[in-house]
Copies of this chain bind each other. A is one copy, B any other.
Amino acid sequence: MSLNQQHVNKLHPDESVVNTNLDEVFDMQQVSINMIKKATKKVDRRVLRTRKQLSQSLLELMQQSSFEEITIKDITDRADMNRATFYLHYGTKEELLFKSLESRFDELVHTIETQLETKPDEPIWADGCYEQMVFEHVADHVDLYKVVLDQNGMGTIIHQIIDYIAAVTLRHTIDYHDNQDTNGIPLEAISRHVAGSMFSLIVWWVRNDLPHPPKEMADICHRLINLGCDNVFDTD
């Protein structure tokens, strides 16, 4: 019976358990974000190559088929490798997908943060500059995000993406606003609000094939999140 207990992949017991709880999601983020600064460990070239091929194959297949329809055999076939090899690296295709996305997110966050470090704090956060970088990043990788965000059945990913945005936002909110009073609103709620709104706007934007330029979307996003809906209607 399939309800007994989680499947445990004996081939790589350290990272085999499928993510089902929040802790692991956050762990993954922390690790990933920190990874950026770490020197790349010495990994066997074959491993690197294999993982890159698997990642690319999945992404390519997702341009043609929906995620659930894609089997592990499909992925390994396209990558010209044996199906068993997949299991040497990943437990599920979901894991492969998020690991693939993760690196792109990390790059984006890293870019934003280093850019912001070189300038005074206040104006940049205030005028939607970082939102612009986000939307430009999405625009630069439309093909990918179109596939990831415009498809149903991408459950794990969606939660993980929102969690990711919320985690980064929370960190920045703490850094920037420090112990500022929030009138009883938890900082986590604020970061959730930002993450949810931004995610939802990005999905809408991507689904409709980027109907506005990134700068405009960034402005819309910034105004809605920071000034609120009332402001949008009030200033007429």
Chain B residue numbers with a CB within 8 Å of A155 are 67, 152-158
A11 within 8 A of B: no
Chain B residue numbers with a CB within 8 Å of A65 are 2-3
**A154 CA / B20 CA spacing, docked (Å):** 11
Per the CB 8 Å criterion, the residue count for chain A at the interface is 71
Q: Which B residue sits closest to A66, measured CB to CB?
A: B20
Chain A positions 53 through 67: 1 when the CB is less than 8 Å from some CB of chain B, otherwise 0? 000000001001111
Check A230/B236 contact, CB under 8 A, given A3-B69, A3-B74, A20-B151. no
Least Cβ distance of A95 to chain B in Å? 11
Least Cβ distance of A15 to chain B in Å? 16
Chain B residue numbers with a CB within 8 Å of A118 are none
**A178 CA / B234 CA spacing, docked (Å):** 14
A8 within 8 A of B: no
**A220 CA / B183 CA spacing, docked (Å):** 9
Check A200/B196 contact, CB under 8 A, given A229-B226, A232-B190. yes
Known: A189-B224, A195-B200. 18 other contacts (CB 8 A): A3-B70, A20-B151, A94-B153, A153-B156, A159-B203, A182-B232, A182-B233, A183-B223, A183-B236, A184-B216, A185-B224, A189-B204, A193-B225, A196-B197, A196-B203, A197-B197, A224-B228, A227-B228
